[in-house]
Structure 1
Amino acid sequence: MKRSEINNIIRQSDDFIKSFGFCLPPFAYWSVDQFRAQKTAAHAIIEAGLGWDITDYGAGDFDALGLFLFTTRNGSQADLSAGGGMCYAEKIMISRHDQISPMHCHVLKTEDIINRGGATLAVEMFESDLEGNPCTSSTVKVMSDGILNEFVPGGILRLEPGASVTLRPGNWHKFWGEKGDVLIGEVSAVNDDNTDNIFADPIGRFSTIEEDEVPLHLLVPDYDVFLAD
């Protein structure tokens, strides 16, 4: 992705988020120089991977295959392993009209995916087979706002604004905005985007960036590049 495209997506996404009355934390709006100046004080932000995250999954077509994310909080694997402390994470996301977030599951993370506003969020789901792959024969069972739902393999759960689904490790899922863009909330266990995303197809989690202009704000994958000692 070109940096100019990413900058435009940030501007558009910020406007969309604000239109629903949701406010991002102050560090969201730091410039590169401000982030560098705050690098020591902001070590927990950097270590937890908080901030802007825009991906085309390495496919080069964000409108067709992509997702906007901003991680607002994230605990530690040490706390999660110990069973106490900050064992949770939160994201705000945008799934555009017919923009696919591809089929994947998580090894450790349980998450609630919540339609915070906009259009319908469509979620296609499979259970895992004995090898951990999407199973085409097992009924899918998930909780949606306290109600057990059962689907045929590849069944689609449609979430209207305010509705949610709980996805547990091994629940394969892909999602997209149906008939419009959707603001999505994610409340989950500790998040690790480097190791805990298993994709059905061989794609990447992060984008390759072509630097054609200065970053408006740093993405999480930029921290290692722009904030290196």
Structure 2
Amino acid sequence: MKRSEINALITKAKDFYAGHRFNLPKWAFWGPEDWKGKGDSEVVSNMLGWDLTDYGKGDFDKLGLILFTIRNGNLQTEDPKPYAEKIMILREGQLCPMHFHWSKREDIINRAGGNLVIKLYGSNEDESMSDQPLEVSVDGFVRTVEPGGEIVLEPGESICLEPGMYHCFYCEEGTGDVMVGEVSAVNDDNIDNRFHEPLPRFPEVEEDEEPLHLLVTDYAKYV
């Protein structure tokens, strides 16, 4: 992804969050210079902050996601925090691709906007998709879902995704972009994503202009 594209997407994302009265922490608005000397912070060590991806396909409008990690523990240190929280933006016409997590259990919440569609499969021991029905908790009520079945979450609704549960999600056509919340166990996107089609989690960035705000993958370079 070009840095100019990332900068433009973050600018729109800030407007989207503000329009839904979701307030980001003050450091979400810092520029690169503001981060100097902040390398020992929890924000940097636990990869909090801005995170955009096109999964290496170069077509963000069809396959992509904007994420902002608000809080997180760290599996690589003695950080005792056992939880994480993200706020994401999924645009109508976009897909977050099919994947599961080996260790992370997560609640995906439709915080605002249109309707969020979650497509589900169980997984087998060899990590292939299962052809068996699976049980999933939607707002605390268990539903049985056929393989490839879909759950539609309206604003305010949520689903609990267990480790090993394949899922992809997209916006229901005609309902608009969705502000997606995630509350989970500690998140480590470097080691805990099993994409059904092998995909890179983080994009390669073409530096055609200076960063407006740092991505979580920028900290090592700029901080």
TM-score range, shorter chain: over 0.9
Please state how far the C-alpha of 1:20 moved relative to its aligned partner: 1.2
Which stretches of structure 1, 4 residues or more, deviate above 4 A after TM superposition? none
| Alpha-carbon contact 2:35-2:222 (below 8 Å) kept | no
Task: Please list, as runs of the form range in 1=range in 2, the aligned pairs for 1:189-204 lying within 5 A after superposition.
Answer: 189-204=185-200
Please state how far the C-alpha of 1:98 moved relative to its aligned partner: 2.0
Aligned to 2:56: 58
CA distance in 1 between counterparts of 2:8 and 2:134 reads 38
Aligned to 1:144: 138
Aligned to 2:82: 87
Percent identity (aligned): 49
Aligned to 1:222: 218
Please state how far the C-alpha of 1:223 moved relative to its aligned partner: 1.1
Can you list the C-alpha shifts for 1:186-229, whole angstroms capped at 9, x where unaligned? 000000000001100011101111111110000001112222xx
Can you list the C-alpha shifts for 1:20-70, whole angstroms capped at 9, x where unaligned? 11100011111101111x424x52211100000000001000000000000
Aligned residue among 209, 212, 216 for 2:208: 212
Can you list the C-alpha shifts for 1:154-193, whole angstroms capped at 9, x where unaligned? 0010000000000010010000112310000000000000
**Number of equivalenced pairs:** 221
AA aligned to 2:217 is P
Aligned residue among 54, 70, 73 for 2:71: 73
Root mean square deviation, CA, Å: 1.4
| Alpha-carbon contact 2:110-2:180 (below 8 Å) kept | yes
Aligned to 1:110: 105
TM-score, length of structure 1 as denominator length? 0.93
Please state how far the C-alpha of 1:18 moved relative to its aligned partner: 1.1
Unaligned runs of 5+ in 2: none
Aligned to 1:13: 13
TM-score, length of structure 2 as denominator length? 0.95
Can you list the C-alpha shifts for 1:127-153, whole angstroms capped at 9, x where unaligned? 011212211x21021000011111110
CA distance in 1 between counterparts of 2:180 and 2:196 reads 22
Secondary structure class of the residue paired with 2:115: strand
Task: Please list, as runs of the form range in 1=range in 2, the aligned pairs for 1:34-45 lying within 5 A after superposition.
Answer: 34-36=34-36, 38-40=37-39, 42-45=40-43
CA distance in 2 between counterparts of 1:133 and 1:143 reads 22
AA aligned to 1:166 is C
AA aligned to 1:172 is Y
Unaligned runs of 5+ in 1: none
CA distance in 1 between counterparts of 2:87 and 2:216 reads 14
CA distance in 2 between counterparts of 1:14 and 1:164 reads 23
